[in-house]
Amino acid sequence: MLLKNLRPANDYDRFATETLEPWDLLFISRIRQIARDMQPGSLADIGTATGVVPVRLGVDPSMAGWRFIGVDLDPTMLEEGMPRILELGLAERIDMQVGDALDLPFADNSLTMAVGRATLHHLPDKAKSLTEMFRVIEAGGVALVHDMRRDAPQTLLDRFTAMRAEANYPPSHVEEKITLDEAHALVEEAGLTPYATIYSPSVGLGALGFEILLKKPALV
Ligand SMILES: C[S@@+](CC[C@H](N)C(=O)[O-])C[C@H]1O[C@@H](n2cnc3c(N)ncnc32)[C@H](O)[C@@H]1O
């Protein structure tokens, strides 16, 4: 199965591991920063593709004690990522599971963290994907969504296109992405404004995208 505007799993994995590293590291360091203030628990990466994010987290000593679930609608993506998980001895800590971001295969309040990078723009009902992530995190839990901005500075969009071309990868479908204002409207539509912080850095590669951070209040 090949979802709209996605490359085959092996080509995506090559691009994700060879070219996306700087952007990966921004996302990983953000997760590490948030996790520092939490007890280790379970973290699901929604739209995980070949599991690059859970693998990076799984080999990170600061994430010891966490277990990870990579969820993707496309089983060929999950299959492509499995050999790396096995080779690194991470099979006990990373579970790869077919699932839909719009109907997550988790009970209410069952995860410590839910994250998703570059998945939001693929989803037909983006507000539903946010409410799903919020539904599955426990009280005191966090959901973190990163995606690219359609209204990112043109110089950065050009730089990203050049990085992709160097890796023999086609340009990003910028028209599918949302703007920062649309991210605010989305959170509002999902009814999650009281729990959300939306942020986009003004400099560096991170300015290509935005983050939506959702915090479920702890039980008192
Ligand atoms: C651009 S890739 C991003 C992969 C990974 N998160 C990363 O940052 O490298 C988007 C992924 O979302 C997955 N996807 C698309 N629609 C989905 C859905 N409804 N539920 C779960 N995954 C989905 C695709 O199969 C693909 O693997």
Q: What is the best residue among 72, 121, 169, 172 to mutate for testing ligand 1's pocket, by most ligand atoms within 8 Å of CB?
A: 72
What does the mean pLDDT of the chain come to?
92
Q: Kindly write down the DSSP assignment for every residue of 13-61, as one continuous string.
A: HHHHHHTSHHHHHHHHHHHHHHHTTS---EEEEET-TTTHHHHHHHT-G
> How many beta carbons lie within 10 A of that of residue 207, not counting itself?
15
pLDDT at residue number 1: 45
pLDDT at residue number 172: 82
Residue extents of the structural domains in the chain: 9-215
Q: Is pLDDT at 126 greater than 50 in this prediction?
A: yes
167 is written with which tokens? 């890796």
Amino acid at 64: A
Atom 1 of ligand 1, residue of closest alpha carbon: 118
Question: How many angstroms separate the CA atoms of 159 and 150, rounded?
Answer: 14
48 lines ligand 1 (CB under 6 A): yes
The model's pTM: 0.92
pLDDT at residue number 11: 81
- Overall average pLDDT of the 26-33 stretch: 94
List the strands of the sheet with 42-46, edge to edge: 94-98, 67-72, 42-46, 111-117, 137-148, 209-215, 196-199
Distance separating the N- and C-terminal Cα atoms of the chain: 45
Atom of ligand 1 nearest to the CA of 9: 27
**What residues contact 13, with CB distance under 8 A and at least 6 apart?**
49, 50, 52, 80, 81
Asked if residues 7 and 169 have their Cβ atoms less than 8 Å apart, the reply is: yes
Tokens 């901005």 locate to: 149
pLDDT at residue number 127: 98
Atom 11 of ligand 1, residue of closest alpha carbon: 47
Mind listing the pLDDT tens digit for each residue in 145-190? 999 999 999 988 888 888 888 878 888 888 889 999 999 999 999 9
Mind listing the pLDDT tens digit for each residue in 69-124? 999 999 999 999 999 999 999 999 999 999 999 999 999 999 999 999 999 999 99
For domain 9-215, the CATH class is alpha beta
